[in-house]
């Protein structure tokens, strides 16, 4: 029996921070299940609901809506301390988080204090070659997973197995720490600190793939929530300035155990301009008054780290490439209101690399660093778009800008966000097909 529900994947179409949290929350009214499929607590999703701000890193954005099941899939790496802290904060805000509405995959990887220590020491030693990680241990945890020495949530069920694997893991990483002049971490102390958390987490654990398959058979709508963005993908992003997981739509299937044939619409969240956190190439970055204005009006600071985001003009070349490799069906354009009042808007339509013109983002690191944007200019618009909920009420200039972005990226705009508030959204095409 094939599924009769609709299954939608939400991913970032740029370098992350596109506003996925609000869009997932807004879409989740139509979903029965919301599932995270990659990343860790380096992700940051901010939701503003009736004036109340919710900050999520590990928990799916659907957790703030009653009657929804949230799933953390096997593709996610989980810091148990961060997870329980996030649950405690949401509980204080009146959000119920219980095994009845949160399921964590037994196959998800564990982030432990040793991973954070290694992450931070590596960045310190890298000096001028820093990647710009959040220092939360996500990269080292994924490395251990691939090297088959990592711990998983399932290991929390058996104290003997947990102890054996934890000692082996620390023995491996302590060699590096001692070589870097750092103190080694003690496995027994770490296990002692983990014990009270272990007991709290066990009730949430289960076979996520099995639950999702049953949901499919019952015709339920599943919404898959990605973290970061396609241009931070470990394979397709601006390597090595990328995250440690796959951020494209295909990972929604791999990172949850949900068959790829059951994935339907893929919504790429896309800012009306471009931002980036941390190191790495950014051809359309604007350090002038225009970029500063975007940052100030868009409140461009990372949800997780608080780091100031670099801001610049919309890069249609990069977004078109992200749509192709990410499997994007349509765009949700966010933060349109940030561009209110700009007399002239610039859109990158190509790159100059020496004497050559490119219409794609090159894979070579040296080439990426030398790219110069080729801009097309458009007039801005008068008046405010903030809070508008109907297409026809947008200023003519704003509608023209959106249509041009569709032409240049080859992707239709399915919705437009005009403020951080949940309902300030213009729906053009329903990803769930209703």
**Residue 246 annotated among the catalytic residues of the structure:** no
> Cβ(275)–Cβ(229) under 8 Å?
no
**Residue 430 annotated among the catalytic residues of the structure:** no
- Alpha-carbon distance of 188 to 395, in angstroms, equals 63
- Alpha-carbon distance of 332 to 323, in angstroms, equals 12
Q: Which long-range contacts (CB under 8 A, 24 or more apart) does 123-128 make?
A: 125/180
Given 45, 173, 236, 246, which residue is catalytic?
A: 45
Given 17, 79, 315, 424, which residue is catalytic?
A: 17
The catalytic site residues sit at 17, 45
């Amino acid at each position: 029996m094939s599924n009769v529900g609709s299954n939608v994947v939400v991913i970032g179409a740029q370098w992350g921070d596109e506003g996925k949290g609000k869009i997932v929350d807004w879409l989740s009214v139509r979903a029965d299940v919301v599932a995270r499929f990659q990343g860790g607590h380096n992700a940051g999703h901010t939701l503003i609901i009736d004036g109340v701000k919710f900050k999520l890193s590990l928990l799916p954005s659907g957790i703030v809506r009653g009657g929804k099941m949230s799933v953390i899939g096997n593709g996610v790496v989980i810091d148990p301390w961060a997870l329980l802290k996030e649950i405690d904060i949401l509980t204080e805000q009146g959000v119920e988080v219980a095994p009845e509405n949160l399921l964590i995959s037994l196959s998800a990887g564990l982030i432990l204090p040793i991973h954070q220590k290694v992450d931070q020491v590596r960045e310190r030693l890298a000096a001028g070659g820093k990647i710009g990680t959040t220092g939360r241990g996500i990269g080292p945890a994924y490395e251990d997973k691939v090297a088959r020495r990592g711990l998983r949530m399932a290991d929390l069920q058996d104290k003997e197995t947990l102890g054996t694997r934890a000692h082996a893991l620390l023995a491996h990483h302590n060699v590096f720490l001692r070589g870097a002049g750092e103190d080694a971490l003690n496995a027994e102390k770490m296990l002692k600190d983990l014990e009270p958390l272990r007991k709290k987490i066990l009730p949430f654990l289960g076979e996520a793939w099995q639950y999702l398959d049953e949901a499919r058979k019952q015709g339920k709508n599943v919404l898959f929530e990605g973290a970061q963005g396609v241009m931070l993908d470990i394979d397709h992003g601006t390597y090595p300035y990328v995250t440690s997981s796959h951020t494209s739509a295909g990972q929604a299937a791999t990172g949850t155990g949900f068959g790829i044939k059951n994935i339907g619409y893929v919504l790429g969240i896309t800012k009306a301009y471009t931002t980036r956190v941390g190191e790495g190439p950014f051809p359309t970055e604007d350090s002038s008054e225009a970029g500063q204005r975007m940052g100030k009006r868009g409140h461009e600071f990372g949800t997780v780290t608080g780091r100031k985001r670099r801001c610049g003009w919309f890069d249609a070349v990069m977004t078109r490439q992200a749509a192709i490799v990410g499997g994007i069906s349509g765009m949700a354009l966010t933060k349109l209101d940030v561009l209110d009042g700009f007399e002239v808007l610039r859109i990158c339509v190509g790159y100059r690399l020496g004497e050559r013109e490119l219409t794609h983002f090159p894979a070579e690191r040296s080439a990426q660093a030398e790219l110069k944007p080729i801009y097309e200019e458009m007039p801005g618009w008068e008046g405010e778009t903030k809070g508008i909920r109907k297409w026809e009420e947008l200023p003519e200039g704003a509608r023209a800008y959106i249509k041009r972005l569709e032409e240049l990226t080859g992707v239709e705009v399915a919705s437009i966000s005009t403020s951080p508030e949940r309902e300030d959204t213009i729906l053009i095409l329903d990803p769930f097909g209703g």
